[in-house]
Amino acid sequence: MEMKEKETLLVALGGNALIRKGQKGTVEEQFENLRVPVGQIARLSRKYRIIITHGNGPQVGNLLLQQESCSAVPRLPLEILVAQTQGQIGYMIESTLDSLLMEQKIAPQKLIVSLLSYVTVHEGDPAFRHPTKPIGPVLSEADAMKHPYPVQLTEKGYRRVVASPRPVTIVEKNEIRKLIEMDFIVICCGGGGIPVVREGRSFAGVDAVIDKDLASATLAKEVGVDIFCIATDVEGVALNYGRREEKFLRTITTAEARRLIQEGHFEGGTMLPKIEAALEFLAGGGRRSLITSIGAIERALDGKAGTEIVIGD
Ligand code: ADP
Ligand code: MG
């Protein structure tokens, strides 16, 4: 069983894998941008079993904007929009991967699947009492006042805010584990997963957005991932990020990471959940945990780029 020897690599792609800062986010741009991380993932699939997770911030924001600007059709709840983005982004990643595997002549042996994924959250999660995550378009004050959802004044202006509860479990974990054992490349947990709560024997969607890095860590633990690589738009983890004394780190121990969290080096909602996800993954038995840029996934795995978080004092 040679297959058993292959390690499993989970790559979590940030929103910038599809839409770079300053771009409009046309479909052409998104397909072009995807070639950078997906080309690397295609090569890595020779050596590793692969799981790909991804964000959906700009895409779900655009769907919300489409809804806000059209009263002719009924509004859809957020969980349906998340499901839509899993479909559209899953399709874009899968078809890009398919053509790059073909170009790299790895195609015939590779099976790929994009999976709609639900992630359960606790109904009693304190996040539901304090929605903090801004989503969708900036609203005028007048629109904000008559908006049917909770709205907050953010740095950019008035925006709808939703709860960002902690992921509890990935509903399709057994399916994903089986697919990985069969050496499928699995694209799943898009946008942090479709948020659901358990109601007796069934699930009900909720108006929330789960952080994709935390959902990826939960998935990684549940399916036994060996290497967890978070790919984003900075080269790694920095001390004093954005200030003159900014310094990117190549390695940090888990104890150091906890200290840096206390000292406030990581912004909530962006780098903080990535560090928390890395810590959670290592605590759950993961082997390697990396945070790197979209363009340097392979180099990070070789220890030549990015930040590696390692267990230690
Ligand atoms: P993604 O879509 O990949 O999840 P995010 O915007 O959520 O991207 O997170 C990446 C961002 O985290 C960077 O662009 C940077 O602005 C921010 N950030 C905050 N603190 C730090 C830090 N200490 N080191 C590096 N980046 C940081
Ligand atoms: Mg993020």
Give the distance (Å) from ligand 2 centre to CA of residue 193: 14
How far is it, in rounded angstroms, from Cα 226 to Cα 288? 7
- What pTM value is reported for the model? 0.95
Contact 75, 207 (CB under 8 A): no
pLDDT tens-digit map of 166-191: 999 999 999 999 999 999 999 999 99
Same CATH fold assignment for domains 2-225 and 226-313: yes
pLDDT per residue over 267-294, tens digit each?
Answer: 988 999 999 999 999 999 999 999 999 9
Please tell me the residue having the least CA distance from ligand 1 atom 11.
270
Residue 306 Cβ < 6 Å to ligand 1: no
Query: If you write DSSP's letter for every residue of 101-150 in order, what string do you get?
Result: HHHTT-GGG-EEEE---EEE--TT-GGGGS--EEEEEEE-HHHHHH-SS-
What tokens appear for 58 in the block?
């700009």
Rounded to 10 deg, the angle between the 271-283 and 254-262 helix axes is: 150
Q: Tell me which residues are annotated as active site.
A: 15-16, 133, 212, 274
3 state DSSP class of 290? strand
Mutate which of 56, 135, 240, 241 for ligand 1? The one with the most ligand atoms within 8 Å of its CB, which is 241
Question: Phi/psi class of residue 269: alpha, beta or left (left: φ > 0; alpha: ψ in -120 to 50)?
Answer: left
Domain spanning 2-225, CATH architecture:
3-Layer(aba) Sandwich (3.40)
Q: Is 86 in the pocket of ligand 1 (CB under 6 A)?
A: no
CATH 3.40.50.150 fits 226-313, yes or no: no
pLDDT at 65 over 90: no
Please say if the pLDDT value at position 108 is more than 70.
Answer: no
Question: Which residue, chain included where needed, has tokens 């605590």?
Answer: 283
Q: Which three-class secondary structure state does DSSP give residue 236?
A: coil
Sequence spans of domains, the chain: 2-225, 226-313
Q: How far is the CA of 132 from the centre of ligand 1 (A)?
A: 17
| Residue with CA closest to ligand 1 atom 5 | 270
Output the residue whose Cα is nearest ligand 1's atom 3. 14
Ordered alpha helix ranges (H), the chain: 27-44, 57-68, 78-103, 141-146, 173-181, 212-223, 254-262, 271-283, 297-301
User: With bands split at pLDDT 50, 70 and 90, how would you rate the model's confidence at 308?
Assistant: very high
